[in-house]
Amino acid sequence: MIDFDRVSITYPDAPRTTLSGVDLHVPEGELCLVIGQTGSGKSTLLRAVNGLVPHFTGGTLAGRVTVAGRDTATHPPRDLADVVGVVGQDPTAGFVTDVVEDELAYGMESLGLRSDVMRRRVEETLDLLGLADLRARALSTLSGGQRQRVAIGSVLTSHPSVLVLDEPTSALDPPAAEEVLAALQRLVHDLGITVVLAEHRLERVLQYADRVIHVPGASAPLRIGSPADIMCDAPIAPPVVELGRLAGWSPLPLTIRDARRQADGLRDRLTTISGGDGGRIDNGAHPATPGEQVAVTCDLTVRYGAIAALRGVDFSVHAGEIVALMGRNGAGKSTLLRALTGLSRADGGAARVLGHDPRSLSPRQLVTHVGLVPQQPADLLYADTIAAECTAADRDAQATPGTSRELLDRLVPNLDPDAHPRDLSEGQRLGLVLAIVLVAAPPVLLLDEPTRGLDYAAKARLVTILRELAADGHAIVLATHDVELAASASTRTVVIADGEVVVDAPTAEAVVGSPAFAPQVAKVLAPLPWLTVEHVARTLGAAS
């Protein structure tokens, strides 16, 4: 179905070839998972499947890419639209209408399908992706995860033979991600659609993959094989595989079920070391005792028209805390962050940061109180180069020149300072925005989906930086669907449902035993209160 024959891709002014000498065959009806570090070339590989590379992005393509027998060199994306459906990292970039139902129908209209066929496929897709209740909603009112599902649905209605997805679950809550992945699996197994997807959150996707393509970057050759073969020595692996490596299990587990079958000895050992109380062992996620209250909402209500996004929310965060804000897509997490920055007006109650109503502060005053990294990090980028962004951030924060660049190198190393931010991958752009916000070291730091597009190594580096900030007395709130991030970084977890706080507890208490929000290690070792591989390694190391 998809064939790469000695394909190399080089972008203008790039210091090296992005992909080199790629030979690849993906047969019909296979789910192929593409993995690699942030910026390794995964998105370039995906874009080559439908001709976006080089017809849209530019660059030089050597070799030959064919899809269903069509050569992408002579068939631009419009000539492959009936065969290949593509969903990029930013779903909003592909929207062309204003309403959910219209967006689902647009692709079929472009292909000239009959109205009765269009109606039937729209209804099927609404049911498949759980969008029926949103059919008449304006796209601008949807949460990030809801928009992601609409973007996937708009491609599925055209019934492509090949479906290409870049980070399809990155904006989805765990249950919604499972629904989407289960739907993709049905498309593969029941309809024979070929699915190629890139994903950093391997803990969600690995169990569904037929094959894995590891893109190592730096013009190194691709590694292609079964999930078990690639995970044996891949530098990128989900927590359940890392746990298996730490415990010396063979074969390495790829799923929670596989790991639980081998975990009895590890559970016994951990229980013996700690008396069963893992919560008393310092897992590195807990900074100094929280200090004074720095941000608070009292009976906060926020409405968007007839929709109540928040309903009487009481929330607070103290200096030195890292709070994970979790909940389903559309629960109100982003609205709470926006209220704390004054971007969302309170219809009832109040929000205060360092004792001030954020809406009463000037922009210059506001940035000295609170910093926000939004879901769409590109909204904060305006310069023509990475170097210019970092220089401006240092100047605005009155920081030592080079501070922003130092932070960026800790998160996403070795980026070309002369590169344009729009030419970066989603994860690289996020790293840049994190650096220019973190450089100001505001007393209150709000991060909305801060690991979207980040690989495991970059995520670990981010956790280290957040712990350092918390130890210095900064308050941090993470609105996230990444349960592994919450387990690694947060001291407290708050769960919001339908605009109301339903859980507010220490992270271990909040997530252990939760079907939706428990990390992989907690599911493997339950009912013991260990959350991360780092936590387990620290415990075993303390006993050696």
Residues 384-442: pLDDT tens digits? 999 999 999 999 888 899 999 999 998 888 888 998 888 887 788 888 998 998 888 88
Q: How far apart are CA 9 and CA 11, in angstroms?
A: 7
Burial class from Cβ neighbours inside 10 Å (0-12, 13-18, 19+) for residue 68 reads middle
Grade residue 365 by pLDDT with cuts at 50, 70 and 90.
confident
Average pLDDT value for the chain? 89
Give the pLDDT confidence of 294-336 residue by residue, as tens digits. Answer: 999 999 999 988 889 999 999 999 999 999 999 988 889 999 9
Give the pLDDT confidence score for residue 286 in this predicted structure: 54
- The dihedrals phi and psi of 225, each to the nearest 5 degrees, come to 180, -175
Residue 252 belongs to a domain: no
Residues 210, 302 within the same domain: no
pLDDT at 277 over 80: no
pLDDT at 176 over 50: yes
Give the pLDDT confidence score for residue 170 in this predicted structure: 81
Find out whether 323 and 337 touch, Cβ atoms under 8 Å.
no
Q: Residue 49 has which token pair?
A: 């499947």
Beta bridge partners of 180: none
For 461, how many CA atoms within 13 A lie in the half-sphere containing its CB?
Answer: 17
Give the pLDDT confidence score for residue 144 in this predicted structure: 67
Residue 377 belongs to a domain: yes
- The dihedrals phi and psi of 292, each to the nearest 5 degrees, come to -70, 155
Residue 343's CB: how many other CB atoms inside 10 A? 15
Which one of 212, 234, 256 terminates a domain?
Answer: 234
Give the pLDDT confidence score for residue 279 in this predicted structure: 47
Q: What is the mean pLDDT of residues 121-150?
A: 86
Which one of 217, 234, 251 terminates a domain?
Answer: 234
Residue type, position 167, single letter: E
Give the pLDDT confidence score for residue 94 in this predicted structure: 84
Give the pLDDT confidence of 189-232 residue by residue, as tens digits. Answer: 888 899 999 999 999 999 999 999 999 876 678 999 999 999 99
Give the pLDDT confidence of 470-515 residue by residue, as tens digits. Answer: 998 999 999 999 999 999 999 899 999 999 999 999 998 888 878 8
pLDDT at 350 over 90: yes
Residue 156 belongs to a domain: yes
**Is the backbone peptide bond immediately before 238 cis, with ω within 30 degrees of 0?**
no
Q: Residue 498 has which token pair?
A: 């339908």
Q: How far apart are CA 400 and CA 358, in angstroms?
A: 27
The Cα-based distances of 289 to 211, 214, 319, 471, 492 in angstroms read 46, 42, 9, 9, 12
Residues 222, 312 within the same domain: no
Give the pLDDT confidence score for residue 543 in this predicted structure: 64
Give the pLDDT confidence score for residue 219 in this predicted structure: 64
Residues 320, 178 within the same domain: no
Give the pLDDT confidence score for residue 123 in this predicted structure: 94
Percent of the chain past pLDDT 90, that is, above it, reads 52
Enter the pTM of the model. 0.85
Residue 62 belongs to a domain: yes
With tokens 């916000």, the residue in question is 437
Q: How many domains does the chain have?
A: 2
Residues 305, 171 within the same domain: no
Find out whether 339 and 477 touch, Cβ atoms under 8 Å.
no
Residues 53, 196 within the same domain: yes
- Residue-number span of the structural domain to which 421 is assigned: 293-528
Sort strands 370-373 and 19-26 into parallel, antiparallel or unpaired: unpaired
Which one of 215, 234, 253 terminates a domain?
Answer: 234
Burial class from Cβ neighbours inside 10 Å (0-12, 13-18, 19+) for residue 543 reads exposed
pLDDT at 283 over 50: no
Residues 92, 218 within the same domain: yes
pLDDT at 133 over 80: yes
Give the pLDDT confidence of 93-107 residue by residue, as tens digits. Answer: 889 999 999 999 998
Beta bridge partners of 195: 31, 163
Q: What is the mean pLDDT of residues 249-254?
A: 94
Give the pLDDT confidence score for residue 366 in this predicted structure: 87
Residues 357, 478 within the same domain: yes
Residue 266 belongs to a domain: no
Q: How far apart are CA 285 and CA 287, in angstroms?
A: 6
Residue 227 belongs to a domain: yes
Q: What is the CATH number of the domain that holds 459?
A: 3.40.50.300
Rg of the chain over all Cα atoms, to the nearest angstrom: 23
With tokens 């590195």, the residue in question is 284
**CA nearest neighbour of 44 among 11, 2, 92, 16:** 11
Residues 101, 211 within the same domain: yes
Beta bridge partners of 33: 197, 212
**CA nearest neighbour of 202 among 179, 176, 169, 229:** 169
